[in-house]
Amino acid sequence: MSEESHVTPLAPPQIYRRSDEEWGATATTKPKVIHHKHGRSSKCFVYLLLFLVLLSIASLAFGLVVLRINAPKLKLELVEIKNLKYTAPDFASLNMTMVAQVKIYNQNFGGFTFHNGSTSVVYGNTTLGMTYCKSGLVRGRNSERMTVAVQVKANNGLAENKNFSSDMGSGLVKLSSYANLRGEIRVLKHFTRRRTSFMNCTMSLNLTSQAVQDLRCM
Ligand SMILES: *[C@@H]1O[C@H](CO)[C@@H](O)[C@H](O)[C@H]1NC(C)=O
Ligand SMILES: *[C@@H]1O[C@H](CO)[C@@H](O)[C@H](O)[C@H]1NC(C)=O
Ligand SMILES: *[C@@H]1O[C@H](CO)[C@@H](O)[C@H](O)[C@H]1NC(C)=O
Ligand SMILES: *[C@@H]1O[C@H](CO)[C@@H](O)[C@H](O)[C@H]1NC(C)=O
Ligand SMILES: *[C@@H]1O[C@H](CO)[C@@H](O)[C@H](O)[C@H]1NC(C)=O
Ligand SMILES: *[C@@H]1O[C@H](CO)[C@@H](O)[C@H](O)[C@H]1NC(C)=O
């Protein structure tokens, strides 16, 4: 502050002294030089500002693209029915192994390390089977396939359910399958976010073909 106030009073006498020596020529050029110097520094300032603006746009774009972290997508690709045993329509019961192939697509730039996951098979409101999945890793911008086997059992609990008996009698049973996968996505070594992926599907079990049809996922 004090230095600046010292400099400004010193500047005008310098100009006056020089303009005394060569009045005609310098009187017009001097202000021009000062004006030019002033213009250069403001241009510098504009470039600096422009650079900073571009830098923040670049880091914003970087942040939006690289640091935007979404839960990886789960896709039920295939469902196979094994060891199917059932009684219907009286004393309706069902016992089978449902083997599902799930594709985990990690669209993020960082790897997805999952620890917890579960897949369940549900009829109406009743859970018929559930499996916990092991841990694993899906690298960034990559996908992995996981095979999940769920032991499905429907006996005593659903024996009283009229819908279940009639479904079993018709040979077509509507089932839902829910899956979730909990884990962390790590971007740039130190930036970690927790995400949970969900899968929500409906399907019909055809007792005649011993296969699943009308598979729909949301
Ligand atoms: C279901 O079937 C398996 C063999 O596929 C058998 O080991 C199991 O005991 C059966 N469960 C019931 C409740 O019938
Ligand atoms: C998830 O896994 C952690 C250990 O890896 C365990 O402590 C926790 O209970 C699990 N949560 C569920 C909901 O299974
Ligand atoms: C499912 O359960 C809820 C409450 O637990 C009940 O209100 C609902 O009616 C049930 N739905 C079916 C289809 O049974
Ligand atoms: C049977 O199905 C009907 C219609 O789909 C539903 O309203 C009812 O809650 C179901 N009953 C049970 C016990 O799930
Ligand atoms: C599955 O999706 C349906 C339709 O969007 C929704 O009503 C239901 O609550 C979902 N179930 C789960 C467990 O997310
Ligand atoms: C169940 O599967 C059998 C044999 O593939 C087929 O003939 C029948 O039409 C299927 N049932 C339904 C309701 O699609």
Ligand 3 centroid to Cα of residue 158, in Å, is 14
Whether ligand 4 lies within 6 angstroms of the CB of 157 is answered as no
Ligand 4 centroid to Cα of residue 163, in Å, is 6
Q: Which ligand is nearest to the CA of 208?
A: 6
> Given strand 142-154, what is the order of strands in its sheet?
73-87, 93-106, 142-154
The predicted pLDDT at position 53 comes to 93
Output the CA angle 59-63-65, nearest 5 degrees.
115
CA distance 172 to 9: 97
Q: Tell which atom from ligand 6 comes closest to the C-alpha of 172.
A: 13
Task: Going from the first residue of the chain to its last (218 residues), give the mean pLDDT of each consecutive group of 10, the final group possibly shorter.
Answer: 46 47 48 58 88 91 82 95 90 93 94 94 93 93 95 81 88 95 90 94 96 94
CA distance 211 to 80: 6
Classified by CATH at the fold level, domain 73-217 comes out as Immunoglobulin-like (2.60.40)
The predicted pLDDT at position 207 comes to 95
**Exposed/middle/buried for 209, CB within 10 Å: 0-12, 13-18, 19+?**
exposed
Ligand 3 centroid to Cα of residue 125, in Å, is 6
The predicted pLDDT at position 104 comes to 96
Tokens of 47: 């470039």
The predicted pLDDT at position 20 comes to 45
The predicted pLDDT at position 5 comes to 46
The predicted pLDDT at position 83 comes to 96
The predicted pLDDT at position 38 comes to 64
The predicted pLDDT at position 86 comes to 93
The predicted pLDDT at position 42 comes to 84
Whether ligand 6 lies within 6 angstroms of the CB of 209 is answered as yes
- Determine how many CB atoms are found less than 10 A away from the CB of residue 108: 23
Structural domain boundaries of the chain? 36-65, 73-217
